């Protein structure tokens, strides 16, 4: 008997544990990849993963925060729950930022955390943390498994809750004695038992009719397209509806790609760093139709000046979002796609929008996004445009948070859905690079670009190991201005240029850093070199880090200063 | 304004924490909360009295509560025909000489003396919160040693009058 056969023999006769059952249940849910990190309380699960190696794929990260952001990137691209596995105590608490991020941005995750054995819960045992209490406000729902017989139902419910309705993170806390316990018999198939959870998918036909009537009468209608359109996979329906009625479209930061940016009816992104045309359209509109956006404060600016002349229709799958920030005359609780299909079916006379569109076209012409070239160095906005060009605008782009994020949103125009991954609600630095890893795992054939700042990248760069190990051909663009640029910008504009602790005077040599991980690194500090080398760098078959030194003084414009209204943008034109 | 909100919830561990945590996070002030098993096994009933600024905030609080997976039903019953009661236990300093005097005070409130010791007695009263407040004020001169109140609990009446016969009265406004 050779060694392998012997091993096979041993595993097949080993008694089945709770952890083996868990892995079976995950496979049944269609899970292909686990984003994980082992530790004491999850050793039984890792033993089961060892036994199930041929059936499920585990990716070992270097920090729990990195792996959960990767799972978010995976969820954003596939629409399927990203599955995360961490140990108890510090493993679980390191996930908190990512769970909150997923909650804010409605990303489906199923997070499994180890827990100390039931007998010692509550005794401050080694690596014990009250994960249930910690994660209750930051999850859509959470469970602690109290009996192995509950496990099939809980796993099924967790995936169901995470991926239906308004998606979100669900956490399952697994005491060690549950996962290490030996099953006396296979637990029965379980059914979902969730009487308190029935998301409304279909819109109320009367409300749809009301919206159609209002639309027919509108003179200045505008659509606000949020991430709900992307979750519902309703981009096609949205485009059809927009084309049919000739309504201009503003997208939110997270809604980028839900409507093609190159469509003449697209006004671009709205909000704090949105376009003048988008914000003025929201301001002057007489009918604002919001599909799946939550009227975040970074979009609305001062609420008193938000869409002051508009009747507001809000289509959202989460009833609690309707009327939360903006009074809404036509509330429609529904999936965006269902609502759009119903709307498309109704015979509505298209609104008279010729004049309105003409006015907005003029705004677009008169106040386009702008920046000035500087002979002293590389413009970050130009850098994004160059990346757009070399990738034909077809790459999956993941960003961190800050200036580079806004420039990417402004200058990497998205014509297709599901190409844009960013931390919108929570604004998590360190998100972009690991999220790109998850995206590349989800879409191995796509070009994935991580556009990150030099500040945020240093928060999760340890995951360079993962892209080397897995040979994930991610292109990392560090928009390196040697500063926490957005903080610096606000200090310059709003704190009388008192630049407090926002310059990164000491930095690693990013090229050597990449090389120490076995990854190719390149440093570029001027536009000529970039334009010359970018095609070759992007053609490189493997991970690559490109440290782009850009002008530190550049600011993100235009801008709505905090407390100001949509119509009070600054920096709409070059000085 | 004060509102009475009843919740039907799944009797699962952590559900009270979910509800109170949510109210705290969204900055809603809880005046009182009472919890107990409902008519169906595995289901509990909570009665919350919350302080909210306006109708928009009220709508938010009910919607946010409804979003909780373990919450089966949320009803704002403030403006319905309801029966609402609270129970309070009040320990009053009292020598034997004062006992009958106190008895005379609590009698109109249909309260009971349920414990007597050498220098104190315990009064049990049920009723609407304002009735309990009134008795407490009357007993205060004797020296109140301790008060324990359950918080309000409430039921909708079996017969809900039509809008036109509903007199506008409220227990709490």
Instruction: Write out pLDDT tens, residues A354-370.
Output: 999 999 999 999 999 99
- Per the omega criterion (within 30 degrees of 0), is the bond before B61 cis? no
- Tens of pLDDT, residue by residue over B92-140, are 999 888 999 999 999 999 999 999 999 999 999 999 999 999 999 999 9
Residue A312 bridge partners (DSSP): A288
Q: How confident is the model at residue A572 (pLDDT cuts 50, 70, 90)?
A: very high
Q: How confident is the model at residue A155 (pLDDT cuts 50, 70, 90)?
A: very high
With beta carbons under 8 A apart, name residues in chain B contacting A161: 69
The pLDDT, as a whole number, for residue A8 is: 45
Percent of chain A with pLDDT strictly greater than 70 = 98
Angle value at C-alpha A279, between A419 and A489, nearest 5 degrees: 75
Looking at the complex, report in whole angstroms how far the Cα of residue B43 sits from the nearest Cα belonging to chain A. Answer: 11
The pLDDT, as a whole number, for residue B23 is: 93
The pLDDT, as a whole number, for residue A348 is: 81
Residue A282 has pLDDT above 80, yes or no: yes
Q: How confident is the model at residue A2 (pLDDT cuts 50, 70, 90)?
A: very low
Q: Average pLDDT, stretch A551-567?
A: 96
User: pTM of this prediction?
Assistant: 0.94
Residue-averaged pLDDT of chain A? 96
Distance of alpha carbon A12 from the chain centroid: 41
CATH homologous superfamily of A3-180 equals Thiamin diphosphate (ThDP)-binding fold, Pyr/PP domains (3.40.50.970)
Tell me which residue of A118, A51, A57 sits closest to A82, measured CA to CA.
Answer: A57
Q: Average pLDDT, stretch A293-304?
A: 97
C-beta neighbour count of A254 within 10 angstroms:
31
**Ranges under pLDDT 70 in chain B:** 163-173
User: Element (H or E) spanning A305, and its range?
Assistant: none
Domains of chain B as residue ranges with CATH: 2-76 (3.30.70.260), 83-153 (3.30.70.1150)
Q: Average pLDDT, stretch A310-318?
A: 98
CATH homologous superfamily of A205-366 equals TPP-binding domain (3.40.50.1220)
Q: Average pLDDT, stretch A85-109?
A: 98
CB-based contacts of B97, cutoff 8 Å, min separation 6 = none
Residue A246 has pLDDT above 60, yes or no: yes
The pLDDT, as a whole number, for residue A7 is: 43
Same fold, A3-180 and A205-366: yes
Percent of chain A with pLDDT strictly greater than 90 = 95
The pLDDT, as a whole number, for residue B13 is: 86
The pLDDT, as a whole number, for residue A277 is: 98
- Catalytic residues of A, which ones? 64, 126-127, 176, 486
Q: Domain ranges for chain A, please list them.
A: 3-180, 205-366, 380-549
The pLDDT, as a whole number, for residue A83 is: 98
Looking at the complex, report in whole angstroms how far the Cα of residue A200 sits from the nearest Cα belonging to chain B. Answer: 12
With beta carbons under 8 A apart, name residues in chain A contacting B13: 144, 146
CATH number of A380-549: 3.40.50.970
Considering only CA atoms, give the Rg of chain A: 25
- Tens of pLDDT, residue by residue over A431-467, are 999 999 999 999 999 999 999 999 999 999 999 999 9
Taken in order A259, A260, A266, A271, the sign of the CA dihedral is positive
The pLDDT, as a whole number, for residue B166 is: 52
Residue the block writes with tokens 């609420």? A303
A394: tokens are: 């077809």
Q: Average pLDDT, stretch A18-25?
A: 97
Separation in Å, CA A132 to CA A177, A264, A411, B69: 17, 49, 41, 15
Tell me which residue of A482, A479, A533 sits closest to A503, measured CA to CA.
Answer: A482
With beta carbons under 8 A apart, name residues in chain B contacting A144: 13
If interface means Cβ-Cβ distance under 8 Å, which residues of chain A face chain B?
Answer: 132-133, 136-137, 140-142, 144, 146, 161, 194-197, 318-320, 323-324, 327
Farthest CA pair distance, chain B: 57
| Higher local confidence (pLDDT), A326 or B97 | A326
């Amino acid at each position: 008997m050779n060694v392998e056969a012997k091993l096979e023999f041993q595993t097949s006769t080993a008694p089945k544990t709770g952890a083996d059952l868990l892995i079976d249940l995950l496979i049944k849910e269609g899970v292909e990849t686990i984003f994980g990190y082992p530790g004491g309380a999850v050793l039984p699960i890792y033993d089961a993963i060892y036994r199930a190696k041929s059936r499920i794929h585990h990716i070992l990260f270097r920090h729990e925060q990195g792996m959960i952001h990767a799972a978010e990137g995976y969820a954003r691209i596939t629409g399927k729950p990203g599955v995360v596995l961490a140990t108890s105590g510090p493993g679980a608490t390191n996930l908190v930022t990512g769970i909150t991020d997923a909650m804010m941005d409605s990303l489906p995750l199923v997070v499994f955390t180890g827990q100390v054995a039931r007998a010692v819960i509550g005794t401050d045992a080694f690596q014990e943390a009250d994960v249930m209490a910690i994660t209750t406000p930051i999850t859509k729902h959470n469970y602690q498994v109290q009996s192995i017989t509950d496990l099939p139902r809980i796993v099924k419910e967790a995936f169901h809750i995470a991926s239906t309705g308004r998606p979100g993170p669900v956490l399952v806390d697994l005491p060690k004695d549950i996962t290490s316990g030996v099953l006396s018999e296979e637990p029965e198939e379980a059914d979902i038992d969730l009487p308190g959870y029935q998301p409304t998918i279909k819109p109320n036909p009367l409300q749809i009719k009301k919206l159609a009537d209002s639309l027919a009468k509108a003179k200045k209608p505008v659509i606000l397209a949020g991430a709900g359109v992307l979750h519902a996979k309703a981009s096609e329906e949205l485009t059809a509806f927009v084309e049919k009625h000739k309504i201009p479209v503003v997208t939110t930061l997270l809604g980028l790609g839900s409507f093609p940016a190159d469509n003449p009816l697209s006004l671009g992104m709205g909000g704090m760093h949105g376009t003048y045309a988008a914000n003025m359209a929201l301001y002057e509109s007489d009918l604002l139709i919001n599909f799946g956006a939550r009227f975040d404060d970074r979009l609305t600016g001062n609420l008193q000046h938000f869409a002051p002349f508009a009747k507001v229709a809000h289509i959202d799958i989460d009833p609690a979002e309707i009327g939360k920030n903006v009074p809404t005359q036509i509330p429609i609780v529904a999936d965006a796609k269902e609502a759009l299909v119903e709307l498309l079916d109704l015979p509505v006379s298209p609104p008279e929008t010729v004049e309105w569109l003409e006015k907005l076209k003029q705004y677009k012409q008169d106040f386009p996004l702008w920046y000035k070239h500087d002979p002293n160095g590389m413009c970050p906005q130009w850098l994004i445009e160059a990346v757009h060009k070399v990738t034909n605008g077809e790459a999956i782009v993941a960003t961190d948070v800050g200036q580079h994020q806004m420039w990417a949103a402004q200058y990497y125009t998205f014509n297709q859905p599901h190409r844009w991954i960013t931390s919108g609600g929570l604004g998590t630095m360190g998100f972009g690079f690991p999220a790109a890893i998850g995206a590349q795992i989800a879409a191995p054939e796509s070009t994935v670009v991580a556009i990150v700042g030099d500040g945020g990248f240093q928060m999760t760069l340890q995951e360079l190991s993962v892209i080397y190990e897995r040979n994930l051909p991610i292109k990392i663009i560090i928009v390196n201005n040697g500063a926490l640029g957005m903080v610096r910008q606000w200090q310059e504009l709003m704190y009388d240029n008192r630049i407090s602790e926002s310059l990164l005077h000491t930095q690693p040599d990013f090229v050597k850093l990449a090389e120490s991980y076995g990854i190719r690194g390149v440093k570029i500090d001027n536009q000529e070199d970039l334009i010359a080398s970018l095609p070759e760098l992007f053609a490189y078959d493997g991970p690559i880090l490109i440290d782009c030194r850009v002008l530190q003084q550049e600011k993100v414009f235009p801008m709505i200063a905090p407390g100001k209204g949509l119509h009070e943008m600054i920096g709409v034109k070059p000085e | 304004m004060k509102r009475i909100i009843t919740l039907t919830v799944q009797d699962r561990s952590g559900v009270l924490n979910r509800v109170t945590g949510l109210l705290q996070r969204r900055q809603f002030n809880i005046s009182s909360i009472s919890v107990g098993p409902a008519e169906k096994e595995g289901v509990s009933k909570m009665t919350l009295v919350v302080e909210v600024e306006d109708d928009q905030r009220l709508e938010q609080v009910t919607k946010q509560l409804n979003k909780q997976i373990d919450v089966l039903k949320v009803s704002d019953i403030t403006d319905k025909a309801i029966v609402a009661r609270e129970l309070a236990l009040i320990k009053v300093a009292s020598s034997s000489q004062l006992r009958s005097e106190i008895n005379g005070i609590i009698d109109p409130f249909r309260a009971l003396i349920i414990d007597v010791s050498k220098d104190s007695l315990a009064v049990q009263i049920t009723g609407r919160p304002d009735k309990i407040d009134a008795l407490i004020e009357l007993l205060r001169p004797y020296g109140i040693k301790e008060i324990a109140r359950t918080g309000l609990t409430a039921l909708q009446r079996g017969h809900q009058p039509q809008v036109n016969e509903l007199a506008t009265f409220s227990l709490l406004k």
